[in-house]
Structure 1
Amino acid sequence: MHELRLLCPEGRVEEVSDALEALDALSISVEDADAQTPAEQALFGEPGMPPPKEGWQRSLVIALFAEKSQAHEAAQLLAPQDFFEGCRLVAIVHVPEQDWVRLTQSQFEPVEITPTFWIVPSWHEPPAQAREVIRLDPGLAFGTGTHPTTRMCLRWIARNPPRDQRVLDYGCGSGILAIGAARFGAASVDAVDIDPAAVQSTEANAQSNHVQLRPGLPDRASGKYDTVLANILASPLKVLAPLLCGHVAPGGALVLAGILARQSDELKEAYAPYLQLEVADDEDGWILMTARQAP
């Protein structure tokens, strides 16, 4: 394997990356060329949302090729292109062979939700103190238990077991919250998402954890539920306020996550015509908000 490393201004990153993809690069990544220097810049977006910009003012574009000759050919083909103006070749570097599967797996450890409730990748043994375990491997859909919003939702489920309840997980992602609800005694769980890949991921994860769910697109959700879970982001949660509240049964609970602490007031305002939201948990700048429908 060989890496082709190019230095590009921010405005050229997207075109250069597209060209490298067309030249059959195995992977393409973009880094801050000024990282670890006083000129380093933060560049990030909220979970599940694209970053605010394609790259940094001085971006290092790194393309991986199977052969050194392919990397050289790509550099030669890019150099005369108009969109390569302002860019330059930094290096072509040999990448030692590694066990990429084992390297990737080593980055994911069991995640503690409570002292007795853990999320455990398939290649790990559960901790000795684990009494309840969800087996979940990193995949395409959001929700592996590593993000504070997911952990807070699962903690709430563990502390408020939905035994014999009808539960809705709206925006299910990997299905982790739906699986958690099933593990803690829910009688039935509908898990819905607008992304078909998330529905497939939820189906596969439910099978791996030996629980029964009803995954599907949003039109699968129907009627009233004793518990409604939605770990999305603040903006869609505000839009969904009447829909989500309409699914909460009398005496039922609404549990919302994907909300930054500074967004609590706007969520309370959006839901005020339907339910009274309160902050139930917080972690690393994120909050969990809950409400209960009148009996």
Structure 2
Amino acid sequence: MAEKKQDGIMETVKTVFWALLIAGVFRSVFFQPFWIPTGSMKDTLLIGDFLFVNKMAYGYSRYSCPFAMCPISGRILDREPEMGDVVVFRHPTLNTDYVKRLIGKPGDKIQVTDGVLSVNGEEATQVRDGIFTEPYQRQGRFGTIPLCTNGPLALGEDATCEKEKYIETLPNGVEHSILNVGPGRLDETNVFTVPEGHYFFMGDNRDNSTDSRVSQRANGVGMVSEEYLLGRVDRVIFSAAGKRLLFFWTWRGDRFFKKID
């Protein structure tokens, strides 16, 4: 009887082991779950969006595995990302995964003047697209308070936060939404030249994004080496406006399987 019980325990251990191994391989090779904790990519991605990162899009590096454990030098099956892709990458110094829009590729010259982006001297046109609104209240598990153009406001569900919304067209023709709160320190930059093997990223919520406009030494993102690219974001699977994804009563019905532009 004791022997049968021991055999049953061993079978359970084996089952759990193989299940974890398969899940680890799937996560490392195909798709990685990712939850949006901050508002730097509004309104393309909202706090509480749940998505899968397509890890096959750009190939693999050692950072493609949990804890950077992939036995890979450089990148394998490497494919170059395109300007305008929404990309998840590992922050070069903080060991945290970030999601931003790819703006500059190796050799590109990037500058922001009066809030307008230029790539290699060509302006990315902005066309006004109304107002983005959201409740002025703490958002997500971090309790983030949004920035608004119509402040100051009192926290609460009855207060509506507004931001100017634009459709930006990148030089390669990719169109996407961006938000503007008002004049800020990142609306005027020097010219950035993207080094070989690196990429330049910006958030769509332009006045509330930690991105490549600020160097890593100043707690920004700076230029991101290709080895830190994890994959591309194509769709939101579902989205929750509450503090936890499992709070189904806070799920946003209009974001199920929403395609990312």
Tell me if both proteins adopt one fold, taking TM over 0.5 as the criterion: no
Kindly indicate whether structure 1 or structure 2 has the higher relative contact order, using CA contacts under 8 Å at least 6 residues apart: 2
Return the index of the structure with the highest Cα Rg: 1
More strand by share: 2
The alignment's TM-score, normalised by the length of structure 1, stands at: 0.19
The alignment's TM-score, normalised by the length of structure 2, stands at: 0.20
